[in-house]
Structure 1
Amino acid sequence: MARTSSSTKKAAKLANKGKGKKVRFQGGTIFPLAVAATLILGLALIVYSRQTLPSADESPPTINDHWHAAYGFYLCDTWYQLEGDLEERDANGQFTNTNFVRTGIHSHNDGVIHWHPYNSRGVGKNAVLDVFLDTYEVQLEDGKITFPPQNALGGQEVWEEGETQCDGEDAEVSVKAWDSFTDTDGGTRYIANMDQIRVANDGMVFAIYFTTDDAPQVMPPWAADLPQLGAIDSGQILPDDLLQGTSSVVPTDSGVSDDTETGSTDGSDG
């Protein structure tokens, strides 16, 4: 009984001795400081990675270039252009569209990509079709095109292989690129990595299709007017007749057949 009483007294004494003392990590304060420093560094790296501009080579386009490229979507049997020029300003003259400010790449409801990059996101090797599409929140994937609600033709946002049909027939996503609006060939056809097609020179043409196998795949009908349409961005006033046929939905056109097909964006065909 005496042993039990003695053990109890020792335990109580130790408990009282520890009251009011702070718990310390093994090794003192070094460990918690190291954990805090790691967290702060991690957060800093995340912020830096989001805000840092991507590197680019010295190849054109540069921030001093102002290029124009014709583009259009051919969805089943209808030519379509994205709406919104994105250059809205507030009362102080500042741009209000953050997508536009991020790159400076946009269109003017005219079927023309106005490529005058503000920073390295749209120059050199970074100058790819996705930079323009991303500004309008359009996603171009292998087998699928997704539009935001404000730019969905007929309210249909998703055009997907195996899900969306054209008059009851299966269709596929592809892109054709021409080095110049004056080209008379069938262009270069892409069926993969389509969003990474290079914008390699001024005057190119891009056509994005969701079509059946037998549908014509040609340049957008307004591509021939690219010099005049591009001049609008430079402040030149054009006669009204030059703007005919450039509404958001344009009647079906026909023309030459495919010339070249590729599943990647390698090579010099843009």
Structure 2
Amino acid sequence: MGKASSSKKVARLAQKGKGRKVRFQGGTLFPALVVGLAVAGTALIIYSRESIPNLNTPPTVEDHWHASYGFYACDEWLPDLAGNKEEQSTDGQLVNNEFRRTGIHSHEDGVIHWHPFSSESTGRNAKLGVFLDVYGIKFGNDKLEMPADQGSAVYEEGTTKCTDKDGKSVDGELVVYAFNAYDTPTDFTTYITNFTDVRLKQDGMAFAIVFAPAGENPGLPPSAASLPELGAADGGTTGQTSTTIAGATTVPGATTIAGASTVPGVTTVPSTATSSTVVDTSEPTTTAG
């Protein structure tokens, strides 16, 4: 009987408790404030990490970098972008809002002149899209559009045709080849999507923006051969530093060790060492170069 009575009490209490709200002592205002502050704090941390560039990551506002660039359509290099975007209004203000904001432009020489005015173009914000925005160029995953002052050409996958080596009309594909050094045509990364997010990671790089039949790589842009001279004419320097160890051969931007082979920005050691590959998932989609 005792067990049955206890069970009935529990059932009655449960029945009485239906529909009742559980309240914190002193009301629900304080717990709600705590939860709200926690959510707001988390959101601010995420925003700050995404929006504030790494101040220790070059280029900084103290840097003056140069990179070769070129647009290649089907079977030829297009003319360099026109204008330096330094035009000023009557009150001495820069007319081009994007150039005024970032400080990135060209001098009609096939060279990206990267001397940041602000954090909008420093560190992780140093991306190809910053330069293209200054010239009003729209560059999506499947379409490249030039503004009126650059000829108004449009290159779209599935619509614009190219002629292949056999004389056949074929679809073109958009690709960006990012060369780590202006004088090393074999050291590059191939990007097939998110082109405006391709980063400028060091001085002396080269970028080939290509619309051509699948698999075609035209190589370094024409301005790459003269990049050091063109950079020097602008008051900056272009060149990647080299570290030499006795008995070794060096290339721009590389540290070499006797008996090792090198490519710019990469140190390789004899076969006794192991190597690893790191994939940065924040980068645009790439294919093996």
For this structure pair, what is the TM-score category when the shorter chain's length is used for normalisation? 0.5 to 0.7
The total of aligned residue pairs comes to: 189
Q: Does 1:65 align with 2:63?
A: yes
CA 1:188–1:102 in 2, change beyond 3 Å: closer, same or farther?
Answer: same
- Matched AA of 1:190: Y
Q: Deviations over 1:154-179 (max 9, x none)?
A: x42x2100011113221100000011
TM-score of the pair, normalised by structure 2 = 0.60
Q: Which has the higher contact order (CA 8 A, sep 6+)?
A: 1
- Matched AA of 2:179: W
Q: Which residue number in structure 2 is paired with residue 110 of structure 1? A: 109
| Gap runs ≥5 in structure 1 | 1-48, 237-261
Report runs of 4+ in structure 1 exceeding 3 Å deviation.
90-94, 262-267
**1:87 CA drift (Å):** 0.9
Over aligned residues, Cα RMSD in angstroms? 2.7
Q: Which residue number in structure 1 is paired with residue 12 of structure 2? A: none
State the distance in 1 between where 2:184 and 2:218 align: 14
Q: Deviations over 1:2-55 (max 9, x none)?
A: xxxxxxxxxxxxxxxxxxxxxxxxxxxxxxxxxxxxxxxxxxxxxxx9xxx942
Q: Identify which of 72, 75, 78 aligns with 1:77.
A: 75
State the distance in 1 between where 2:58 and 2:236 align: 24
TM-score of the pair, normalised by structure 1 = 0.64
SS in 1 for 2:222: coil
In the alignment, is the contact (CA less than 8 A) between 2:185 and 2:220 conserved in 1?
no
State the distance in 2 between where 1:88 and 1:222 align: 24
State the distance in 2 between where 1:184 and 1:204 align: 11
In the alignment, is the contact (CA less than 8 A) between 2:58 and 2:202 conserved in 1?
yes
| Gap runs ≥5 in structure 2 | 1-46, 164-168, 238-279
**1:235 CA drift (Å):** 8.6
**1:108 CA drift (Å):** 0.4
CA 1:235–1:223 in 2, change beyond 3 Å: closer, same or farther?
Answer: closer
State the distance in 2 between where 1:185 and 1:206 align: 13
Q: Which residue number in structure 2 is paired with residue 190 of structure 1? A: 191
Is the deviation greater in 220-229 or in 53-62?
A: 53-62
In the alignment, is the contact (CA less than 8 A) between 1:181 and 1:224 conserved in 2?
yes
Map 1:222-261 onto structure 2 (within 5 A): 222-234=223-235
Percent same amino acid at aligned positions? Answer: 44
In the alignment, is the contact (CA less than 8 A) between 1:54 and 1:121 conserved in 2?
no
